[in-house]
Chain A
């Protein structure tokens, strides 16, 4: 591939980085702090492409054919526009992960008499390691719905670098009586209390259970991962 063609490829991949960083799209792929580095590197790549084309040199530096591969992410970003990861990943990586994300130094008791907002991964971790924190406390979880033969789960994926390392956390929902089970992949906000004894112990194979008092369907959050 010659110099000008390489410059076009570089500008195109730079434009993808710029678009992903400048819009909310980045949240489907990477962690929050990557937003601005993506914008900066997108600008740098586009700038380097211009520099290369408008510099005087006419030497014929043929790059390796691997450069063609850089067109693939551009086409995938544009044609497929992949969504945030969802139920497909959650089912295949289902929740035998216990307590890997509880990095709070001190586990303070939750206030009584109010609804405590909590991450799904935190809930799973508390249930497995510090169940006393959850006892008799109302919590509110936000996640998407996954289902199996026995019922449904409030599920959330958690990433540390990018979507390739996503871990799935899920909480089985019990009740409320007589209500319909929400559709798969529907985002919901649930309020309820932990059923004591469920999901206890590191490496617990069964998901903790939430006695659900209220289910409200919501729109997908801007940041799909925890």
Chain B
């Protein structure tokens, strides 16, 4: 861990730097002291799952931040205005379909959406992209087809319902935002030119710096909760409610929110929930990618807590209802 030492020496009396270093160094004696007590199977399982969630998110987060930095550095407001339909109500479905083009997990979508909004993409359009990208990209479609053994109705159902959720949420923000002042729009912070000159490189580094740390911190907080639920709530407990259709749908929606699986993996878990109805499984597959505890935390960090306090429950309800309806019609 030698890399952690070097960047600090410049400002000698920096209390917070020493505090961070102190916490890291203190880990050594703590490990000596606690070594044996950290052996409990449940705790070790939690630690593995927690680190797995963080480790698997890091490359996607970095990719998202790099893309966001590129958007900030290269995309001008003029280009945005030319590519997107002027009318936000038309731009929303365009952004939804554009989600096909970002084949990554949810973690990458948050910084990218924020980068788009900074370059003049209307907030509802950026939100639609944020919801659509992790849910309907080719990697997710393929993994769903594999997990469900090529059942086209499940694949089509997931695609249609996810795209509908993203577009409907976008339209809600387009249509209602002006009229209902209580509905808050995301807070899009301009990046101050923290690196002095306003060069492309400076803008790129500034945006990357600005996005990476808070998003990472919130991601870790979401990951802690997800790992805890993952270890404490075995699938067998969830399965005990599979018989009652309404309860089953609500429980699987909540389960998808809390375990925060990545969207390329959740189909395999859904397929293993054999005692649930197909509609309940579809709800699980539609809710997870558009909203989970990890995303909620990251969105609170990126777009402000008061926005997230409305956005998170709104998306959960809309996604559950639309997925249940699509499942009822298609499956």
Contact = CB atoms under 8 A, between A and B. Distances in A.
Query: Does A associate with B in a complex?
Result: yes
Given A1-B16, A167-B269, A29 B45 contact: no
Contacts of A9: 20, 213
Nearest to B145: A103
Contact of B214 (A67, A86, A99): A67
Q: Name the residue in A54, A77, A82, A84 with the highest tally of chain B Cβ atoms < 10 Å from its Cβ.
A: A82
A67 B212 CA distance: 10
Contact of B24 (A50, A53, A74, A167): A74
Interface in A47-98: 48-57, 59, 61, 63-64, 66-80, 82-89, 92-93, 96-98
A53 B7 CA distance: 6
B94 to A, nearest CB: 29
Contacts of A53: 7-8, 10
Contacts of A96: 272, 274
A163 B52 contact: yes
A80 B1 contact: no
B311 interface: no
A68 to B, nearest CB: 7
Contacts of B110: none
Contacts of B220: 66, 69-70, 72-73
Interface string B55-68: 11011011100100
Given A48-B208, A75-B24, A165-B262, A30 B55 contact: yes
The majority secondary structure among interface residues of chain A is helix
A42 B109 CA distance: 20
A42 to B, nearest CB: 8
A195 interface: no
Interface stretch (B85-93, B129-137, B188-196, B246-254): B188-196
| Chain A: interface size category | 35 or more
B31 A30 contact: no
A5 interface: yes
Contact of A165 (B6, B54, B194, B261): B261
A76 B50 contact: yes
Interface in B37-61: 38, 41-45, 47-56, 58-59, 61
B30 interface: yes
A164 B195 contact: no
A218 interface: no
A155 to B, nearest CB: 14
A107 B69 CA distance: 47
B230 interface: yes
Interface stretch (B113-121, B164-172, B221-229): B221-229
Interface string A160-182: 11111101000000000000000
Interface of B: 1, 3-4, 6-8, 10-11, 14, 16-17, 19-21, 23-24, 27, 30-31, 34, 38, 41-45, 47-56, 58-59, 61-63, 66, 105, 143, 146-147, 149, 192, 194-196, 205, 208-209, 212-214, 216-218, 220-221, 223-224, 226-227, 230, 234-236, 259-262, 264-266, 268-269, 271-272, 274, 297, 301
Interface of A: 1-2, 4-18, 20, 26, 28-30, 34, 37-38, 40-42, 44-46, 48-57, 59, 61, 63-64, 66-80, 82-89, 92-93, 96-103, 159-165, 167, 202-203
Given A1-B20, A4-B10, 14 more contacts: A7-B8, A17-B59, A30-B52, A41-B62, A53-B8, A55-B194, A63-B213, A67-B216, A70-B217, A73-B223, A77-B51, A96-B274, A97-B272, A164-B49
